[in-house]
Amino acid sequence: MDNKKKVFLTLARGSIAEAVGLGYRLDIDKILRENPWLKDMGASFVTLTTSSDMLRGCIGSIIPHQKLYEDIISNAKSAAIHDPRFPSLSQEEFEHIKVEVSILSKPRAIEYSSSEDLKSKVKPTIDGIVLKYGAHQATFLPQVWEQLPSFELFFSHLCQKAGMEADCLNRIPEISIYQVQEYREE
Protein backbone atom coordinates (compact mmCIF):
# COMPACT_ATOMS: atom_id res chain seq x y z
CA MET A 1 0.00 0.00 0.00
CA ASP A 2 1.50 3.36 -0.96
CA ASN A 3 2.06 5.92 1.79
CA LYS A 4 -0.67 8.38 0.74
CA LYS A 5 -3.27 5.62 0.57
CA LYS A 6 -2.27 4.36 4.02
CA VAL A 7 -2.33 7.87 5.53
CA PHE A 8 -5.69 8.84 3.98
CA LEU A 9 -7.39 5.59 4.99
CA THR A 10 -5.88 5.71 8.51
CA LEU A 11 -7.18 9.27 8.99
CA ALA A 12 -10.64 8.39 7.69
CA ARG A 13 -11.10 5.06 9.50
CA GLY A 14 -9.65 6.41 12.76
CA SER A 15 -11.99 9.41 12.60
CA ILE A 16 -14.97 7.16 11.99
CA ALA A 17 -13.97 4.95 14.94
CA GLU A 18 -13.84 8.07 17.14
CA ALA A 19 -17.20 9.30 15.79
CA VAL A 20 -19.01 6.04 16.64
CA GLY A 21 -17.49 5.92 20.13
CA LEU A 22 -14.98 3.09 19.78
CA GLY A 23 -12.38 4.87 21.90
CA TYR A 24 -9.81 5.03 19.10
CA ARG A 25 -7.40 7.98 19.16
CA LEU A 26 -5.55 9.21 16.09
CA ASP A 27 -2.02 10.46 16.74
CA ILE A 28 -2.49 13.55 14.57
CA ASP A 29 0.80 15.15 15.68
CA LYS A 30 2.79 12.09 14.56
CA ILE A 31 0.87 11.81 11.28
CA LEU A 32 1.50 15.50 10.50
CA ARG A 33 5.20 15.27 11.44
CA GLU A 34 5.62 12.37 9.01
CA ASN A 35 3.36 13.90 6.30
CA PRO A 36 3.58 17.71 6.45
CA TRP A 37 1.83 17.99 3.05
CA LEU A 38 -1.43 17.16 4.86
CA LYS A 39 -1.41 20.75 6.15
CA ASP A 40 -1.93 22.07 2.60
CA MET A 41 -5.43 23.19 1.68
CA GLY A 42 -7.41 20.40 0.05
CA ALA A 43 -10.86 19.06 -0.81
CA SER A 44 -11.93 15.48 -0.23
CA PHE A 45 -14.91 13.16 -0.25
CA VAL A 46 -15.22 10.18 2.08
CA THR A 47 -17.47 7.36 0.90
CA LEU A 48 -18.58 4.42 3.03
CA THR A 49 -19.96 1.23 1.48
CA THR A 50 -21.29 -1.98 2.96
CA SER A 51 -19.65 -5.36 2.38
CA SER A 52 -22.16 -5.84 -0.48
CA ASP A 53 -21.01 -2.54 -2.08
CA MET A 54 -24.13 -0.57 -1.16
CA LEU A 55 -23.64 3.12 -0.35
CA ARG A 56 -23.66 3.72 3.43
CA GLY A 57 -22.55 7.37 3.56
CA CYS A 58 -20.80 9.96 1.42
CA ILE A 59 -19.88 13.49 2.43
CA GLY A 60 -17.30 15.82 0.99
CA SER A 61 -16.01 19.19 -0.06
CA ILE A 62 -15.85 20.43 -3.63
CA ILE A 63 -13.67 23.48 -2.96
CA PRO A 64 -10.68 23.48 -0.58
CA HIS A 65 -11.63 25.47 2.53
CA GLN A 66 -9.41 23.90 5.20
CA LYS A 67 -6.25 21.84 5.58
CA LEU A 68 -6.47 18.48 3.80
CA TYR A 69 -6.16 16.40 6.98
CA GLU A 70 -8.93 18.46 8.64
CA ASP A 71 -11.14 18.00 5.58
CA ILE A 72 -10.67 14.22 5.56
CA ILE A 73 -11.34 13.93 9.31
CA SER A 74 -14.44 16.13 9.13
CA ASN A 75 -15.87 14.40 6.05
CA ALA A 76 -15.18 10.90 7.44
CA LYS A 77 -17.06 11.70 10.66
CA SER A 78 -19.90 13.33 8.72
CA ALA A 79 -20.20 10.41 6.29
CA ALA A 80 -20.52 8.06 9.28
CA ILE A 81 -22.95 10.00 11.43
CA HIS A 82 -24.40 12.99 9.56
CA ASP A 83 -25.31 11.83 6.03
CA PRO A 84 -29.06 12.63 6.04
CA ARG A 85 -29.81 9.65 3.78
CA PHE A 86 -28.76 7.12 6.44
CA PRO A 87 -28.97 6.54 10.19
CA SER A 88 -25.72 7.06 12.09
CA LEU A 89 -23.25 4.24 11.64
CA SER A 90 -23.30 1.84 14.58
CA GLN A 91 -20.27 0.34 16.33
CA GLU A 92 -21.39 -3.06 15.04
CA GLU A 93 -21.36 -1.83 11.42
CA PHE A 94 -17.89 -0.27 11.75
CA GLU A 95 -15.96 -3.50 11.03
CA HIS A 96 -18.11 -4.26 7.98
CA ILE A 97 -17.82 -1.00 6.04
CA LYS A 98 -15.29 -0.17 3.36
CA VAL A 99 -13.81 3.32 3.34
CA GLU A 100 -12.84 5.30 0.27
CA VAL A 101 -11.15 8.71 0.24
CA SER A 102 -11.23 10.82 -2.92
CA ILE A 103 -8.95 13.86 -3.24
CA LEU A 104 -10.43 16.41 -5.66
CA SER A 105 -8.72 18.68 -8.15
CA LYS A 106 -9.99 22.25 -8.34
CA PRO A 107 -13.24 22.34 -10.36
CA ARG A 108 -13.16 24.26 -13.63
CA ALA A 109 -16.18 25.60 -15.46
CA ILE A 110 -17.08 24.29 -18.91
CA GLU A 111 -18.67 26.49 -21.54
CA TYR A 112 -21.26 24.65 -23.64
CA SER A 113 -24.28 25.49 -25.79
CA SER A 114 -26.35 22.26 -25.69
CA SER A 115 -26.35 18.85 -24.07
CA GLU A 116 -24.73 17.43 -27.23
CA ASP A 117 -21.98 20.06 -26.96
CA LEU A 118 -21.53 19.20 -23.26
CA LYS A 119 -21.43 15.48 -24.09
CA SER A 120 -18.44 16.13 -26.37
CA LYS A 121 -16.57 17.89 -23.54
CA VAL A 122 -17.17 15.53 -20.60
CA LYS A 123 -15.02 12.41 -20.08
CA PRO A 124 -17.08 9.61 -18.47
CA THR A 125 -15.32 7.77 -15.61
CA ILE A 126 -12.67 10.53 -15.46
CA ASP A 127 -14.66 13.72 -14.78
CA GLY A 128 -16.61 14.45 -11.65
CA ILE A 129 -19.38 16.96 -12.31
CA VAL A 130 -20.77 19.92 -10.38
CA LEU A 131 -24.14 21.11 -11.68
CA LYS A 132 -25.46 24.47 -10.50
CA TYR A 133 -28.59 26.37 -11.45
CA GLY A 134 -29.79 29.17 -9.20
CA ALA A 135 -30.17 27.71 -5.71
CA HIS A 136 -29.91 24.15 -7.05
CA GLN A 137 -26.57 22.36 -6.87
CA ALA A 138 -25.33 18.78 -6.87
CA THR A 139 -22.20 16.81 -7.65
CA PHE A 140 -21.32 13.29 -8.65
CA LEU A 141 -17.81 11.91 -8.21
CA PRO A 142 -16.27 10.24 -11.29
CA GLN A 143 -16.90 6.87 -9.59
CA VAL A 144 -20.67 7.37 -10.09
CA TRP A 145 -20.19 6.72 -13.82
CA GLU A 146 -19.75 3.04 -12.81
CA GLN A 147 -23.43 2.91 -11.71
CA LEU A 148 -24.73 5.39 -14.31
CA PRO A 149 -22.57 4.69 -17.38
CA SER A 150 -24.43 6.67 -20.06
CA PHE A 151 -24.24 10.45 -20.34
CA GLU A 152 -28.06 10.69 -20.36
CA LEU A 153 -28.53 8.50 -17.28
CA PHE A 154 -25.71 10.20 -15.37
CA PHE A 155 -27.00 13.71 -16.01
CA SER A 156 -30.70 12.91 -15.47
CA HIS A 157 -29.83 11.55 -12.01
CA LEU A 158 -27.55 14.51 -11.29
CA CYS A 159 -30.34 16.93 -12.25
CA GLN A 160 -32.73 15.11 -9.92
CA LYS A 161 -30.15 15.08 -7.12
CA ALA A 162 -30.02 18.88 -7.50
CA GLY A 163 -33.80 18.98 -7.02
CA MET A 164 -34.59 19.71 -10.67
CA GLU A 165 -36.33 17.87 -13.49
CA ALA A 166 -34.41 15.04 -15.15
CA ASP A 167 -33.91 17.03 -18.37
CA CYS A 168 -32.51 20.13 -16.63
CA LEU A 169 -29.62 20.34 -19.10
CA ASN A 170 -32.11 22.08 -21.41
CA ARG A 171 -31.79 25.07 -19.07
CA ILE A 172 -27.98 25.15 -19.62
CA PRO A 173 -27.00 25.04 -15.92
CA GLU A 174 -23.45 25.89 -14.87
CA ILE A 175 -21.27 22.79 -15.23
CA SER A 176 -17.83 22.38 -13.70
CA ILE A 177 -15.61 19.33 -13.92
CA TYR A 178 -12.95 17.94 -11.60
CA GLN A 179 -10.91 14.78 -11.30
CA VAL A 180 -10.10 12.69 -8.24
CA GLN A 181 -7.33 10.57 -6.86
CA GLU A 182 -9.14 7.62 -5.33
CA TYR A 183 -7.91 5.61 -2.33
CA ARG A 184 -10.07 2.61 -1.43
CA GLU A 185 -9.87 -0.13 1.16
CA GLU A 186 -9.73 -3.57 -0.40
Q: What is the pTM of this model?
A: 0.92
Decide if pLDDT at 105 tops 90. yes
- Out of 3.30.700.20, 3.20.20.70, 3.40.50.300, 3.30.450.20, select the CATH number for domain 3-104: 3.30.700.20
Q: How far is CA 99 from CA 12, 25, 28, 126, in A?
A: 7, 18, 19, 20
Instruction: Write down the mean pLDDT value for the chain.
Output: 96
Q: What distance in Å separates the CA atoms of residue 160 and residue 99, rounded to the nearest whole number?
A: 26
pLDDT, position 1: 61
**CATH, domain range 108-179:** 3.30.1490.150
pLDDT digits (tens, 9 = 90+) for 4-42: 999 999 999 999 999 999 988 899 999 999 999 999 999
